[in-house]
Amino acid sequence: MQHQMDVLIIGAGTAGLTAALRLADQAKVSIVCKTKLGEGSSLYAQGGIAAVMDKDDCLESHIQDTLIAGDGLCDEAAVRFTVENARDCVNWLVDQGVSFTLDERGENGFHLTREGGHSKRRILHAADATGKEVQNTLVSLIKKHPNIRVFEDYNVVDMILQNQRCVGAYVLNTTTGKVETFLAKASMLASGGASRVYRYSTNPVVSSGDGIAIAHRAGCRVANLEFNQFHPTCLYHPGTSPFLLSEALRGEGAYLRLPNGHRFMLDIDQRAELAPRDIVARAIDLQMKTYGIEYVFLDITHKSSDFIQSHFPMIYQQLLQYGFDLTKDKIPVVPAAHYTCGGVMVNHQARTDVFGLYAAGEVTYTGLHGANRMASNSLLECVVYAFAAAKDIQNQLSTLTLCQHVDEWDDALVTDSDEAIFIRHNWKELRRSMWDFMGIVRSNKRLQRAANRIRLLRQEVFDYYSDFKITGDLLELRNLVLVAELMVESAIRRKESRGLHYTLDYKQKDKRFLRPTIIKPAKA
């Protein structure tokens, strides 16, 4: 089956939905999403969107805060481009109907909060569910637009290239099991990050690095994949959806303890549990590796029941559903992969290295984040670069043509697999290896162990992919193995500790590495 459209957008998070709405008045747009429309990391973003909106704030302050957070590796031009376009993007979201929380005093219009790394109050938010408000608003507009067609439960196999130009994609219909051909004048990757490559992640299961792997196979460079942000305290409860335990708990006096009750953060940092996120995450990781334990405990039982329930009502109620009483129980927690700071390299028009292929959102490396992401810059980046991609595509649409001759997908020589255990086993082995050897704290020995295991897994997956009909699970495993390999190679190349990359063999920063880690695609 063949589909034709002006613009193909892969992914239905904030970046993809924004680009679609910006394009749809002038173009026929198709959105492909792996599950249902709107599902993805954007939906679960609790924080907000950073933008200079207050008279006491200024663009230069936001720029400098971001540069400091990036630990020397931000691209200053990208930071300025993002910050300078922030207000227009926020105003557009408001015009679409996004209801940001208002200032109760009526002084500044919107209620602005301040988060880690920001020197001023500049975070617009919708209570503690900004991503949900943005996603739901954009999804409702998408469903009403006559020029937008949505394909749910479709998983991209690979982009289609002709004469070094992207002309569309082969896409698996996971309902029918058939691969369909999508032809477009321009295509855009907005498929999110790759945190599901780790055993523990705060991300939904769709965050399997698909866009990064697809782009790299198509001929795009990737950058800074050694930088993955970890949240220190995620509930340890295998078999359930990830659930974050807010840093506000530690801010209000919660302790981190070993199974024997020892409060270990006192041994690590004079700020104890109030140390920065990366220090706390590394400290927990150290205890788990040193003692061979699966988790540590977060304990606030020394506070009164009234205090806990009044300060943390949502967390208290949610934990009861998992069988824990925050007022009486120590809660098992682990750090969890949270945000991919590197990805597909794009310019300020959101163009990749392949003509006709754009990218925006967490799938990309724009240069904004550097070695560490500053809070609430991520949703902003999604909208700014979605705007940029849409503008560039609009300017070129009249000169672009649809490709007319593309080979249909041929699976005549492969069979259905009777070994589904292969995918499940290798998925678990990959994520466990990444967690143990390419996690919060690395070393040369650990990274080499990860590289050796991933090399074997990738060959097994390649052989399996060649012999059997593809499934959604197989496509995700294929992409995760490639992204894991790219992440480990990036970490091996960076022989220093900077930002989110910490290695026991090179504990200090090194000026020789004040540059992004760029991996070029393998030559065909």
pLDDT at residue 105, rounded to an integer: 60
With a cut of 60, say whether residue 107 has pLDDT above it.
Answer: no
pLDDT in tens, 414-461: 888 767 788 889 999 999 999 999 999 999 999 999 999 999 999 999
- Average pLDDT score over residue span 52-73: 94
- Average pLDDT score over residue span 509-524: 90
3-state secondary structure of 139: helix
From the candidates 277, 442, 453, 478, give the one annotated as an active-site residue. Answer: 277
- The answer to the question of residue 407 being in a domain is no
Together in a domain, 302 and 391: no
Pairing of strands 364-365, 357-359: unpaired
Pairing of strands 112-113, 331-340: unpaired
- The answer to the question of residue 225 being in a domain is no
Number of domains observed in the structure of the chain:
3
Together in a domain, 9 and 138: yes
- The answer to the question of residue 410 being in a domain is no
Together in a domain, 40 and 134: yes
- Looking at the chain, the whole-number percentage of residues with pLDDT higher than 90 is 73
- The answer to the question of residue 515 being in a domain is no
With a cut of 80, say whether residue 196 has pLDDT above it.
Answer: yes
> Within the chain, how many helices (H) and strands (E) appear?
14, 18
Say which residue, 466 or 503, is predicted with more confidence: 503
Average pLDDT, the chain: 92
pLDDT at residue 86, rounded to an integer: 97
- The answer to the question of residue 283 being in a domain is yes
- Looking at the chain, the whole-number percentage of residues with pLDDT higher than 70 is 97
Together in a domain, 368 and 502: no
With a cut of 60, say whether residue 334 has pLDDT above it.
Answer: yes
pLDDT at residue 180, rounded to an integer: 97
Together in a domain, 437 and 462: yes
> Domain of 437?
421-508
pLDDT in tens, 139-175: 999 999 999 999 999 999 999 999 999 999 999 999 9
Q: What does the DSSP 8-state code read for residue 20?
A: H
Together in a domain, 367 and 461: no
The domain that holds 289 is classified in CATH as 3.90.700.10
- Average pLDDT score over residue span 183-189: 98
Together in a domain, 293 and 379: no
pLDDT at residue 119, rounded to an integer: 86
pLDDT at residue 115, rounded to an integer: 74
Structure tokens at 161: 């290239």
pLDDT at residue 40, rounded to an integer: 80
- The answer to the question of residue 37 being in a domain is yes
- The answer to the question of residue 161 being in a domain is no
Least confident among 257-266, 352-361, 515-524: 515-524
Output the DSSP codes for 445-495: HHHHHHHHHHHHHHHHHHHHHHHB---HHHHHHHHHHHHHHHHHHHHHH--
Structure tokens at 283: 């400290």
With a cut of 80, say whether residue 44 has pLDDT above it.
Answer: no
Q: What does the DSSP 8-state code read for residue 374?
A: P
3-state secondary structure of 305: helix
Together in a domain, 432 and 453: yes
Q: For residue 264, how many other CB atoms are within 10 A of its CB?
A: 20
257 is catalytic: no
Confidence of residue 321 (pLDDT cuts 50, 70, 90): very high
pLDDT at residue 106, rounded to an integer: 52
Confidence of residue 250 (pLDDT cuts 50, 70, 90): confident
Together in a domain, 320 and 361: no
Together in a domain, 247 and 279: yes
Structure tokens at 427: 């998925």
The domain that holds 84 is classified in CATH as 3.50.50.60
- The answer to the question of residue 158 being in a domain is no
Confidence of residue 204 (pLDDT cuts 50, 70, 90): confident
The domain that holds 483 is classified in CATH as 1.20.58.100
Together in a domain, 33 and 59: yes
Together in a domain, 324 and 443: no
Pairing of strands 255-257, 296-299: antiparallel
